[in-house]
């Protein structure tokens, strides 16, 4: 759950609407409750998209965060 909190906090730092998708479930990346419904596990593929004036930056930051595999904070 802690990786999801980092995703939510990072998404919240942008003005854009940010979404994370797993399969057919596309959720608000700023909501920890919504992110939890993804049931995301290490190694799973997620899509990120954003709409707004800082959308590119938001996606870039989130890809970087998730790509780092949340170094240092451990799973769950």
Question: Is 33 a binder of another protein (CB under 8 A)?
Answer: yes
Query: How many residues of this chain interact with another protein, rule: CB under 8 A?
Result: 17
> Least Å distance between CB 21 and another protein?
15
Q: Is the dihedral of CA 58, 64, 66, 72 positive or negative?
A: negative
Angle at 17 between CA 3 and CA 45, to 5 degrees: 45
Nearer to another protein, 36 or 63 (CB): 36
Query: In the set 13, 23, 36, 60, which binds another protein (CB under 8 A)?
Result: 36
Residues 6 or more apart from 60 whose CB is under 8 A from it? none
């Amino acid at each position: 759950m802690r990786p999801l909190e980092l995703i939510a906090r990072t998404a919240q730092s942008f003005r854009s609407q940010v979404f994370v998708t797993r399969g057919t479930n596309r959720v608000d990346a700023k909501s920890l409750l919504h992110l939890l419904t993804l049931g995301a596990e290490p190694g799973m593929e997620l899509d990120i998209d954003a709409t707004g004036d800082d959308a590119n930056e938001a996606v870039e930051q989130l890809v970087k965060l998730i790509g780092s595999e949340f170094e240092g904070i451990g799973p769950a």
